Amino acid sequence: MVAVANVEMAQMWDGEADEWIANADRYDSTDRFINARFEAEVPIGRHNRVLDIGCGTGKSSRDAARRAQQGWVLGVDLSAKMLDDACRRSADEGVTNVEFLCADAQVHPFEPDSFDVAISAFGAMFFADPVAAFANIRRSLRPTGRIAFLAWQGFEHNEWLTTIFDALAAGRDLPAPSAGEPGPFGLADPDTVITLLRDAGLADGQVAAISEPMWLGASAEEAWTFVADMGLVRGLTDGLDEDARLSAMAELRRRIEHRATPEGVLLESAAWLITARRPSRE
């Protein structure tokens, strides 16, 4: 039986898994520019053993496995459905040095001293107890092993989200997602992050800003087809009467069309690259 401390998050992600699986290629493309920065700034050695936290349908794990050609990657997620899809995609792509585990990284008993680096592409913001989770991940690292996590900066700095919320408000006061609580902005405050890294026993904690656009599609029509079917959009329009819903969706479409460029539909985003290492002596 899988030990889970973050029960609500496990239920949420398995509940949303079908949409993410159906649109995995689109979701994986949205942060292409952020991921390019991540790969450029986070070295993964050819022989490294890598732990990938919150891997979802496994793109980040497969990307790491291609870099650690003579090493091995373990992708961990709370959603069994997403991991089934990750296994299928890895087999289809011929990536053989990656495995997937349905587990809660906050409490799972990883083999101590077994990984060179732990990574996460926006999967480490959801822990109920981030200090406990980061300490558990630290114990899985070899001495001087590293973490490199991507996390969102505050809601107000992410145009790709504020655009959706503003367009769909329809006269309502839509509260922004909470910062500092388990969720997309759980690691949004850099000072808090530095403190929790220290409290988790990690050394040399750093938080660096990454500002790259989110790519929503090659054309306005393609982007609209994707965005209009997002669970977030459906949730924000739930409860509106039909006229208000149509008006709000039309406004969102107008804003998306306005952001079309020769490179695709681009909206600004702001993320943190969180890095630290396990001390050589503890």
282 lies in some domain: no
Q: Give mean pLDDT, residues 210-215.
A: 97
Asked if 143 and 279 count as a contact pair (C-beta separation under 8 A), the reply is yes
User: pLDDT band at 261, cuts 50/70/90?
Assistant: very high
Residue whose C-alpha is closest to residue 106's, from 182, 177, 180: 182
Query: What's the domain count of the chain?
Result: 1
Domain annotation covers residue 240? yes
Instruction: Using the predicted structure, report yes or no on whether residue 75 has a pLDDT greater than 70.
Output: yes
| SS3 of residue 231 by DSSP | helix
Q: Write out the two tokens for 35.
A: 């991921």
Say if residue 250's pLDDT is above 50.
Answer: yes
Residue 172 has pLDDT above 80, yes or no: yes
Instruction: Output the domain CATH number for residue 239.
Output: 3.40.50.150
Q: Which residue has the tokens 């669970």?
A: 231
Residue 71's domain comprises: 7-277
Report the pLDDT value the prediction gives residue 1, as an integer from 0 to 100. Answer: 44
> In which band, very low, low, confident or very high, does the pLDDT at 180 lie, cut at 50, 70 and 90?
confident
Residue 171 DSSP symbol: T
Q: In the structure encoding, which two tokens stand for residue 175, read together? A: 């509260």
Amino acid 67: pLDDT? 97
For the stretch 222-236, pLDDT in tens is 999 999 999 899 999
Residues 118-132: tens digit of each pLDDT = 999 999 999 999 999
pLDDT category, 242, cuts 50, 70, 90?
A: very high
Kindly tell me if the per-residue pLDDT of 175 is higher than 50.
yes
